[in-house]
């Protein structure tokens, strides 16, 4: 059966389609697929990061196999598993059919709106009022809402996506980074993207016209329209539109300063909860949240001249549990290593003034890493210095890099967004003496570090899922 025939015969009720989406719904199975993307692996290697029993991992593998996403063969006593990319075709075809449908509908809507007179044209939706609030008040409101949802045993679906970041910079510096085109061009967009600003009129009713340039050479024109501009406090604007297409969503972002640090709170409002979920998935896939990490790096560089790497991730788990996953050797060994590798502690003394030594083994051999712990403040902060070494703990070159800083300082901050949600902020920077070439190599590798930590955080997310907590 050729591709066209198989596409024509698939409907929303297709058993193949249902099995694929059912298989992908579980974070553990998604982590297994991410591991197999690096190459085939035996069952015992797939089970190791999750500490699952044999029957439990076999059950997951059977679900993936029935959905056509993996296959298993026999090699002596082992049954290696391999990824089957063609198994995703039912989902890809189904999504493509809906993409085409919505593009056609939006084209018709666009033509209709253009045909209307200016007097009859609908006014843009009025932004929801967002009163300026201190971080403490916002946290109390979020915690009260989260508690109410947990008492009822469910989580209300929302048409809003929310994001909070805290920057170690005064509000004036953060506002300038947002509004001065020469600064915006240094950090706006996912990693690998650059932008060109054509015009920026920062006032109510004004527009910002710019083009985002993707790492693959594709250009993405954008027209942003401002509805609220309150210097150093608030912006409301439409995002993702062009001269010919409507915006994707409305953004409300507020800024508040406390003790020299700025809290940025963002709300992205969409028409429906379904649209919000779709955009959330798109932002995650495109690495859009790295934009706000790049802002942190830019602010640090502008203020101190230091080169840093920043990555944030919010986990649906209490802060004490997330902190434990970073400070228990048993837990760390299950998720910290890059996807497709395994991690084994040779020394596991996680305490201030102590150090760990671990080996990471993958298809390209083994590397050894020493981490010296400088500070541990439960459940808020962990600081350690990390070096590549050999098995005798002598300094060793970084794998695959001719030039790299000898030591990296890693600072991990844990922030309780609600009693059941924890934001992790990891900052890495060269520690001690580093040459100009080493600093350049570190800065150049930010995209690769984002990819590596994202894979590890995906595994951590799976481990923190309720099924594992139980």
For residue range 419-461, list pLDDT tens digits in order: 999 999 999 999 999 999 999 999 999 999 999 999 999 999 9
* Judgement on whether residues 428 and 327 belong to the same structural domain of the protein: yes
Count the neighbouring beta carbons within 10 Å of the beta carbon of residue 237.
Answer: 21
* Judgement on whether residues 281 and 329 belong to the same structural domain of the protein: no
Is residue 145 a part of any domain in this protein?
no
Comparing C-alpha atoms, which of 99, 97, 118, 22 is closest to residue 65? Answer: 22
* Judgement on whether residues 285 and 319 belong to the same structural domain of the protein: no
Q: Name the band, by pLDDT with cuts 50, 70 and 90, for residue 143.
A: low
pTM of the model: 0.68
Determine the pLDDT at residue 130: 44
Query: What stretch of H or E contains 302?
Result: helix 290-304
Is residue 134 a part of any domain in this protein?
no
3-state secondary structure of 67: coil
From 247, 282, 304, give the residue that closes a domain.
304
Whether omega for the bond prior to residue 379 falls within 30 degrees of 0, making it cis, is: yes
* Judgement on whether residues 455 and 318 belong to the same structural domain of the protein: yes
Is residue 373 a part of any domain in this protein?
yes
**In percent, how much of the chain has pLDDT > 70?**
83
Is residue 97 a part of any domain in this protein?
no
Determine the pLDDT at residue 411: 98
Rounded Cα gap, residues 449 and 287, in angstroms: 13
Determine the pLDDT at residue 107: 61
Contact criterion met (CB below 8 Å) for 218 and 209: no
**In percent, how much of the chain has pLDDT > 90?**
64
When pLDDT is averaged across residues 217-237 and rounded to a whole number, the result is: 96
* Judgement on whether residues 387 and 465 belong to the same structural domain of the protein: yes
In this structure, of 152-156, 375-379, 434-438, the range with the lowest mean pLDDT score is: 152-156
Determine the pLDDT at residue 292: 97
Comparing C-alpha atoms, which of 151, 388, 269 is closest to residue 143? Answer: 151
Mean model confidence pLDDT for the chain: 86
Is residue 14 a part of any domain in this protein?
yes
* Judgement on whether residues 300 and 356 belong to the same structural domain of the protein: no
Is residue 417 a part of any domain in this protein?
yes
**105 exposed, middle or buried (CB, 10 Å; 0-12, 13-18, 19+)?**
exposed
pLDDT at residue 4 is higher than 70: no
Q: Name the band, by pLDDT with cuts 50, 70 and 90, for residue 56.
A: confident
From 284, 304, 324, give the residue that closes a domain.
304
Q: Which residue has the higher pLDDT, 256 or 118?
A: 256
From 252, 282, 304, give the residue that closes a domain.
304
**Cα–Cα separations (whole angstroms), residue 184 to 57, 135, 201:** 46, 25, 14
Determine the pLDDT at residue 288: 81
Report the domain count for the chain: 3
Cα 441 to the center of its chain, rounded Å = 23
pLDDT at residue 150 is higher than 60: no
Residues of the domain holding 269:
158-304
Rounded Cα gap, residues 136 and 124, in angstroms: 32
When pLDDT is averaged across residues 31-49 and rounded to a whole number, the result is: 86
Determine the pLDDT at residue 16: 77
Q: Name the band, by pLDDT with cuts 50, 70 and 90, for residue 102.
A: low
Rounded Cα gap, residues 3 and 216, in angstroms: 27
* Judgement on whether residues 183 and 208 belong to the same structural domain of the protein: yes
Residue 41's CATH number: 1.10.10.10
Tell me the three-class secondary structure of 174-242, residue by residue.
Answer: HHHHHHCHHHHCCCCCCCCCEEEEEEECCCCCCEEEEEEECCCCCEEEEEEEEEEEECCCEEEEEEEEC
Cα 49 to the center of its chain, rounded Å = 20
Determine the pLDDT at residue 401: 86
Query: What stretch of H or E contains 362?
Result: strand 355-362
* Judgement on whether residues 337 and 447 belong to the same structural domain of the protein: yes
278-333 pLDDT, tens digit each: 999 888 887 889 999 999 999 999 999 999 999 999 999 999 999 999 999 999 99
> Please, which residues have CB within 8 angstroms of residue 139's CB and are 6 or more apart in sequence?
416, 417, 418
Residue 352's CATH number: 3.30.530.20
**Cα–Cα separations (whole angstroms), residue 353 to 168, 326, 350:** 26, 17, 9
* Judgement on whether residues 297 and 324 belong to the same structural domain of the protein: no
When pLDDT is averaged across residues 350-359 and rounded to a whole number, the result is: 97
User: Can you state the percent helix, strand and coil of the chain, rounding each to 5?
Assistant: 40, 30, 30
Is residue 13 a part of any domain in this protein?
yes
* Judgement on whether residues 64 and 8 belong to the same structural domain of the protein: yes
74-97 pLDDT, tens digit each: 777 778 999 998 888 888 877 776
Rounded Cα gap, residues 160 and 251, in angstroms: 10
Q: Name the band, by pLDDT with cuts 50, 70 and 90, for residue 188.
A: very high
* Judgement on whether residues 322 and 435 belong to the same structural domain of the protein: yes
When pLDDT is averaged across residues 164-184 and rounded to a whole number, the result is: 97
Rounded Cα gap, residues 70 and 61, in angstroms: 8
Is residue 131 a part of any domain in this protein?
no
Determine the pLDDT at residue 111: 55
* Judgement on whether residues 328 and 215 belong to the same structural domain of the protein: no
């Amino acid at each position: 059966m050729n591709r066209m025939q198989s596409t024509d015969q698939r409907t929303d009720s297709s058993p193949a389609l249902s099995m694929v989406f059912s298989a992908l719904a579980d974070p553990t199975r998604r982590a297994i697929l991410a591991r197999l993307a690096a190459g085939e692996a035996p069952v015992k290697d797939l089970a190791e990061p999750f500490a699952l029993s044999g029957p439990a991992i076999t059950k997951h593998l059977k679900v993936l196999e029935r959905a056509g996403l993996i296959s298993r063969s026999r090699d002596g006593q082992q049954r290696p598993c391999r990824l089957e990319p063609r198994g995703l075709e039912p989902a890809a075809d189904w999504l493509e059919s809906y993409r085409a449908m919505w593009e056609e509908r939006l084209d018709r809507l666009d033509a209709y709106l253009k045909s209307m007179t200016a007097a009859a044209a609908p006014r843009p939706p009025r932004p929801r009022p967002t009163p300026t609030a201190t971080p403490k008040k916002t946290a109390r409101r979020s915690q009260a809402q989260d508690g109410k949802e947990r008492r009822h045993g469910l989580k209300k679906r929302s048409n809003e996506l929310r994001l909070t970041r805290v920057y170690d910079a005064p509000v004036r510096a953060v506002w300038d980074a947002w509004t001065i085109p020469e600064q915006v061009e240094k950090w706006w967009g996912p990693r690998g993207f650059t932008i060109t600003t054509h015009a920026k009129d920062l006032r109510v009713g004004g527009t910002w016209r710019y083009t985002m340039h993707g790492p693959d050479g594709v250009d993405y024109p954008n027209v942003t329209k401002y509805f609220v501009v309150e210097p150093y406090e608030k912006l409301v604007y439409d995002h993702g539109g062009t001269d010919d297409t409507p915006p994707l969503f409305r953004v409300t972002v507020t800024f508040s300063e406390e003790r020299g640090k700025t809290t940025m709170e963002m709300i992205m409002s969409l028409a429906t909860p379904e649209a919000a979920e779709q955009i959330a998935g798109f932002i995650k896939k495109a690495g859009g949240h790295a934009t706000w990490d790049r802002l942190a790096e830019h602010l640090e560089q502008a203020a101190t001249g230091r080169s840093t790497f920043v990555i944030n991730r919010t986990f649906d788990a209490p802060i004490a549990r997330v902190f434990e996953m970073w400070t228990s050797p048993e837990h760390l060994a299950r998720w910290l290593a890059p996807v497709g590798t395994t991690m084994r502690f040779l020394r596991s003394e996680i305490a201030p003034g102590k150090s760990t030594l671990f080996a990471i083994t993958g298809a390209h051999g083994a590397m050894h890493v020493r981490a010296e712990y400088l500070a541990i403040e439960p459940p808020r902060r962990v600081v350690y210095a990390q070096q590549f070494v050999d098995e005798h703990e002598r300094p060793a070159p970084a794998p695959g890099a001719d030039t790299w800083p000898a030591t990296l300082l890693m600072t991990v901050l844990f922030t309780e967004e609600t009693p059941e949600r924890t934001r992790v902020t990891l900052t890495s920077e060269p520690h001690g003496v580093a040459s100009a070439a080493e600093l350049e190599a570190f800065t150049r590798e930010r995209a690769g570090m984002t990819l590596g930590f994202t894979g590890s955080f995906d595994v951590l997310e799976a481990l923190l899922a309720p099924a594992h907590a139980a």
